[in-house]
Amino acid sequence: MDKNLMAAEQEVKKLTDKLPLLKKEIGKVIVGQEETIEHMLITFLAGGHALLEGVPGLAKTLLIKTISQAIDLKFNRIQFTPDLMPSDIVGTEILEEDHSTGKKFFKFNKGPIFANIVLADEINRTPPKTQAALLEAMQEFEVTYSGKTYEMDRPFFILATQNPIEQSGTFPLPEAQQDRFLFYIKIGYPSAKEEETILKNTTGTHRPKVEKIISGPEIIRLQELVREVYISDDLIGYVSDLVRATRPETSNSDFVKQWVGWGAGPRAGQAMILTAKARALQEGRFSVTIQDLKHVAYPVLRHRVIVNFRAEAEGIDSDKVTQELLEQIKPQIVSL
């Protein structure tokens, strides 16, 4: 075997072997929530951002902080409140004086968004003006202030949380901003056994220490490897059919025409393919399967398919639309 190829295979194996160790380290603190942890790691591997939704007390913030402790990257937490201003996030200019010359000048003080992992805690508690301060950083990985552009350090992830049951004093994220999140992850209640373990682990004296498992450059290399994972033209066609079927004007589904107001855009297809590649790599494979695509379809389409008022009244949400389409649309593949 060629030495360069052998070295490349050893590098890939060394990196992918760290992913199970990363999950294990997170599991020291977080009980259960295997699918949520998997989706978070997929988000990292795909180089995107995640929006987590769950009722209070389900360890959303703790999960993100634990992940940041297991990854050797700079972490900042921003607590979103109704009086938070955009400058509290991106930074602001302050007037300083050069003591040697006496001249005064403006200096840009970077805000908490200048980190590798940014926890936007309770993002729906701040007005749209402040929420929008995240948009440029999320999409272009840079911040513009007073006509000057400041690059974000890579890798860069925004992990936002919100509670679904609180209405007073909240500002729901606009659909256009939700679309910037690669995944919309819903966190459910723990099982009875998991809840007993949580109660036992969190009311005693034991405090688990989370070790650093993986570095920033290694995350960047894994993101490059994700792009190299193979996906067949047939599966790309399947993704296109699925995304186009969410749009009432191009869908053949009566269910979609009846219940959906707006379908997903092309970014949904990009997100499905990229996250399916990340899932395949996470499982040690270098080829995407139909199961990968079906697995990521829900968190990808959850915030990109907007149901109409009639559907909301009947209790039909975007997950139900995704379920119907996954049952209706079959990939044009001879062998799965």
**What is the reported pTM?**
0.88
Is residue 190 pLDDT above 60, yes or no?
yes
CATH number for the region 1-203+213-218 comes to 3.40.50.300
| 19-33, 94-108, 260-274, 321-335: which is most confident | 260-274
* Confidence tier at 269 by pLDDT (50, 70, 90): very high
SS3 59: coil
Longest dimension (CA), the chain: 77
Report the C-alpha gap between 259 and 325 in whole angstroms: 13
Which is it for strands 91-97 and 104-110: parallel, antiparallel or unpaired? antiparallel
Residues of the chain with CATH 1.10.8.80: 229-328
pLDDT tens-place string over residues 90-133: 998 888 877 778 788 788 889 999 999 999 999 988 888 889 88
336: pLDDT confidence band, cut at 50, 70 and 90?
Answer: very low
CB neighbour list of residue 67: distance below 8 Å, 6 or more residues apart: 26, 37, 40, 117
What are the residue ranges of CATH 3.40.50.300 in the chain? 1-203+213-218
For the domain made up of 229-328, the CATH class stated in words is: mainly alpha
Residue 213 and residue 79 in contact, taking contact as beta carbons nearer than 8 Å: no
Q: Which pLDDT tens digit goes with each residue over 210-243?
A: 899 999 899 999 999 999 999 999 999 999 999 9
For tokens 């997903």, name the residue.
264
- Which pLDDT belongs to residue 104? 82
The DSSP symbol for 230 reads B
